[in-house]
Amino acid sequence: MPPIQDHPLRFQLSNELHARPFPTLTTASRAVFLALKHRHVAGVDAVQADIDHLIMLLDRYGAAHPQPGATHYFGKLGKHRLKWERHTEFVTFTLLVDGLSDRAFDAADFALFPEDWLAAAPGLRITSCLLRIEPQQDAGIIREKLSEWFVRESLAASSVLDSSGVIAGDFHIDEAGHSRFALFIADGVGQGRIGRILQRLFEIETYKANSMLGLAKSRELSKRMGPLDFELTQLMGQMQTNGDDAVGQLDELLRISAELEALQAKTSFRFGATGAYEAIVNQRIQALREVPWEGRQTLAEFMMRRFDPAMRTVKATQARLETMSERAVRASQLLRTRVDVDRSAQNQKLLESMNKRADLQLRLQQTVEGLSVVAISYYAVSLASYLLYPLTGVTGTTKELLSAGVTLPVVLIVWWMVRRIRGHSQE
Q: How far apart are CA 197 and CA 189, in angstroms?
A: 11
Q: 74: which DSSP letter?
A: E
Whether residue 125 lies inside any domain: the answer is: yes
Domain boundary among 287, 314, 348: 348
The pLDDT value recorded for residue 389 is: 65
Same domain, 233 and 186: no
- Which of 74-78, 176-180, 325-329, 344-348 has the lowest average pLDDT? 344-348
Q: How far apart are CA 54 and CA 86, in angstroms?
A: 10
- Cα 2 to Cα 5, 10, 339, 416, distances in angstroms: 9, 19, 71, 98
pLDDT surpasses 80 at 146: yes
Same domain, 131 and 232: no
Portion of the chain with pLDDT greater than 70, in percent: 82
pLDDT surpasses 60 at 240: yes
Q: How far apart are CA 212 and CA 198, in angstroms?
A: 21
Whether residue 315 lies inside any domain: the answer is: yes
Determine contact, residues 139/72, Cβ cutoff 8 Å. no
Same domain, 110 and 139: yes
Whether residue 3 lies inside any domain: the answer is: no
Query: Burial of 4 by CB count in 10 Å (0-12 exposed, 13-18 middle, 19+ buried)?
Result: exposed
The pLDDT value recorded for residue 120 is: 93
Write the pLDDT tens digit of every residue in 416-426: 776 676 666 55
pLDDT surpasses 80 at 214: yes
Write the pLDDT tens digit of every residue in 190-205: 999 999 999 999 999 9
The pLDDT value recorded for residue 67 is: 85
Tell me the DSSP string of 165-215: EEEEE-----TTS-EEEEEEEPTT--HHHHHHHHHHHHHHHHHHHHHHHHH
pLDDT surpasses 60 at 107: yes
More confident residue, 121 or 239: 121
The pLDDT value recorded for residue 328 is: 85
The pLDDT value recorded for residue 12 is: 75
Same domain, 39 and 182: yes
Same domain, 60 and 101: yes
Q: Could you tell me where the DSSP H helices lie in 43-94?
A: 44-60
Same domain, 172 and 233: no
Same domain, 230 and 168: no
**Does the predicted TM-score (pTM) go above 0.85?**
no
Same domain, 35 and 164: yes
Whether residue 32 lies inside any domain: the answer is: yes
Q: What is the mean pLDDT of the chain?
A: 85
Q: Which residues of 207-241 are buried (b: 16+ CB within 10 A; e: fewer)?
A: bbbbbbbbbebbeebeeebeebbebbeebbeebee
Q: Could you tell me where the DSSP H helices lie in 61-182?
A: 115-119, 139-149
Domain boundary among 123, 157, 191: 191
pLDDT surpasses 80 at 51: yes
pLDDT surpasses 70 at 401: no
The pLDDT value recorded for residue 287 is: 95
Same domain, 221 and 274: yes
Determine contact, residues 32/111, Cβ cutoff 8 Å. no
Same domain, 218 and 367: no
Whether residue 387 lies inside any domain: the answer is: yes
Same domain, 289 and 378: no
Q: Name beta bridge partners: 103.
A: none
| Spatial CA neighbour of 332 closest among 263, 257, 414 | 257
The pLDDT value recorded for residue 135 is: 95
- Which of 45-59, 185-199, 259-273, 337-351 has the lowest average pLDDT? 337-351
pLDDT surpasses 90 at 241: no
Q: What is the largest CA-CA distance in the chain?
A: 160
Write the pLDDT tens digit of every residue in 157-172: 999 999 999 999 999 9
Whether residue 202 lies inside any domain: the answer is: no
Q: For 290-375, list the strands marked E by DSSP.
A: 291-292
Domain boundary among 348, 376, 411: 348
Determine contact, residues 34/83, Cβ cutoff 8 Å. no
Determine contact, residues 171/303, Cβ cutoff 8 Å. no
Whether residue 227 lies inside any domain: the answer is: yes
More confident residue, 372 or 176: 176
Same domain, 338 and 365: no
Q: How far apart are CA 115 and CA 126, in angstroms?
A: 17
Write the pLDDT tens digit of every residue in 259-304: 899 999 999 999 999 999 999 999 999 999 999 999 999 999 999 9
Q: How far apart are CA 80 and CA 178, in angstroms?
A: 20
pLDDT surpasses 70 at 333: yes
Determine contact, residues 135/25, Cβ cutoff 8 Å. no
pLDDT surpasses 60 at 144: yes
Three-state helix/strand/coil letters over 235-282: HHHHHHHCCCCHHHHHHHHHHHHHHHHHHHHHHHHHHHHHHHHHHHHH
Instruction: Read off the pLDDT of each residue in 63-67 and give the average, rounded to a whole number.
Output: 90
Q: Give the Cα-Cα-Cα angle 308, 313, 318 (nearest 5 degrees).
A: 125
Domain assignment of residue 417, given as a range: 361-426
Whether residue 388 lies inside any domain: the answer is: yes
- Which of 55-59, 269-273, 330-334 has the lowest average pLDDT? 330-334
Say how many domains are in the chain. Answer: 3
